[in-house]
Amino acid sequence: MIKQFMYTLSVRVGACACLALSMLIFSATSHAALTLNNTRIVVSSDKRSASVVVRNPSKSTYAVQTWINTEADDNTTVVPFATSPPFFKVSPESEQLLRINVLPNSLPQDRESLFFFNMQEIPHASAEPGNQLSIAMRTRIKLFYRPQQLKGKPTEQLESLTFSINERKGVKQLVINNPTPFHITFISLKVQTDGRGHKIDSAQMLPPLSRQAYALANVPLNASSSISFSVINDFGGYTQPLTRPIQSTR
């Protein structure tokens, strides 16, 4: 999924500028103007690069900065990727092909590794006099480094996910086990009991070879309870909902 941030903010206002007016302008311009051709990027280890298309459907020119970092969202951790070009200008109603080059690395070969692609758009300063508000928006999407020897796709291994119920400190938990080498991102996760679905709103992405637990406070359970879920595929689309049994209840 795409995350957008108001990364930097520069304002030129007169001494008597109204705060309420500034807030209205801020709200109206806080949406990214540029778009990407996908909502996630998969880089295969047998490829030397991957490509991304940056599109500018607007009537304005933008300067763009791109980079790759980790989930920590810092600028100090070294990552084995470089964007080319890292800085460029994109004219109105045009697009730019961007390459993500893979550098020599020692990343795990038995599972995917997670990184993030960042794109910051910076509007050109207006020459018009008067009060101005300039916002540099940042778009951030997941980048998965996938070793060549991993066979199939994440959506082809959903049968391997297991669901069980545990109790911790008196609270029942849904435990999801992901024995696959892929990241699994839920778009929908529900406990089905007696024909009614109880949505788990806090469902996070499951890393490879890991498990996560979710508290089930006030969620009714019985012997016929099951799990219904849908995940995001490599292209940003959603799988059809799948239903799986809960392995054990205790």
Phi and psi (nearest 5°) for 88?
A: -165, 170
Residue 20 has pLDDT above 80, yes or no: no
| Rg of the chain, C-alpha, whole Å | 22
Q: Kindly indicate the confidence band of residue 107, based on its pLDDT and cuts at 50, 70 and 90.
A: very high
Q: Kindly indicate the confidence band of residue 113, based on its pLDDT and cuts at 50, 70 and 90.
A: very high
Q: Which whole number is the average pLDDT over 76-89?
A: 97
pLDDT value, residue 201: 85
Q: Which whole number is the average pLDDT over 68-77?
A: 96
Residue 43 has pLDDT above 60, yes or no: yes
| Percent of the chain topping pLDDT 90 | 71
Q: Kindly indicate the confidence band of residue 243, based on its pLDDT and cuts at 50, 70 and 90.
A: very high
Helix (H, G, I), strand (E, B) or coil at 26: helix
pLDDT value, residue 14: 43
Q: Where are the domains of the chain?
A: 3-146, 154-245
Per the prediction, the chain carries an average pLDDT of: 87
Q: Which whole number is the average pLDDT over 186-212?
A: 93
Q: Domain 3-146 carries which CATH code? A: 2.60.40.10
Residue 9 has pLDDT above 70, yes or no: no
Please say whether the structural domain 154-245 has been given the CATH code 2.60.40.10: yes
* More confident: 111 or 5: 111
Q: Which whole number is the average pLDDT over 183-208?
A: 93
pLDDT digits (tens, 9 = 90+) for 127-180: 666 666 667 899 999 999 999 999 889 999 999 999 999 988 888 999 999 999
Long-range contacts of residues 247-250, Cβ cutoff 8 Å, at least 24 apart: 247/162, 247/163, 247/164, 248/164, 248/165, 249/164, 249/165, 249/221, 249/223, 249/225, 250/165, 250/166, 250/167
Whether the domain at 3-146 and the domain at 154-245 fall into the same CATH topology: yes
pLDDT value, residue 133: 63
Q: Which two tokens stand for residue 207?
A: 């890393």
Q: Which whole number is the average pLDDT over 98-115?
A: 97
Rounded CA-CA distance 154/232 in Å is 9
pLDDT value, residue 24: 37
